[in-house]
Amino acid sequence: MTFVCGELIKALDIGTAISGDIGQQVLSRTQEAAIRAGVNTVLKSTVNGRNFGDVLSEEARSGAANVVGGTLANKTGVAYKSEDSDINYVMHKIIHGVIGGISGLISGGTEEAFASAIGATIGEIVGEKFEGSHQGGIYDPEHPSYDAKEREAMVRKGTLFSELSAAVFAGILGQDLGSSTLDATVVGF
């Protein structure tokens, strides 16, 4: 476990994460999470008749988990894909699992942590394989026949496939499907 935590800290380079592109990413993710939380809170409390305060608290935790998990997952992915990376395939998936577990812990406590770790790991494995099978040509921004709409459609399909795979795997293990699919999306693609 110490090795995994050390690799996670090294991959994330926390000192640099506070500035530059990561800071902008956190801001963008926070804005998106706040909008989603506001809409969900209104819908769940008015349409579903749930307690406004409970829903607001739940959505705030979920938003924080998405911001933290998504930012850390992105940073890990960039580090993993760099040419001089020390992160191998297995360590990359373990790191995503840890990030998913942390996101689940933030969002719903210990009950969601394991399901979220499963979702993040399986989502990353499936998403990476899916993305790997859709390389070059219209999917590559450097290629003359690049098509941004086709690339966006491929990412949406890959995300859905990652979510489905995570849900099936979590279901087999008797874990929460919602938590696993959320972290397959946040951490996976």
| Residue pLDDT, tens place only, 28-67 | 888 888 888 888 889 888 988 999 999 889 888 888 888 8
pTM (two decimals): 0.74
CA dihedral for 147, 149, 152, 153, sign (positive or negative): negative
CA distance 124 to 184: 7
CB 127 within 8 A of CB 164: no
Pick from 24-28, 114-118, 181-185 the range whose average pLDDT is largest: 114-118
**Confidence band of 90 (pLDDT split at 50, 70, 90):** very high
CA atoms within a 13 Å half-sphere pointing along the CA-CB vector of 104: 30
* For the chain, domain boundaries: 2-188
User: What is the per-residue pLDDT across 107-162, written as a single tens digit (0 to 9) for each?
Assistant: 888 888 888 899 889 988 988 888 878 777 667 778 788 888 887 888 888 888 88
CB 52 within 8 A of CB 45: yes
CB atoms within 10 A of CB 148: 10
Amino acid in position 185 = T
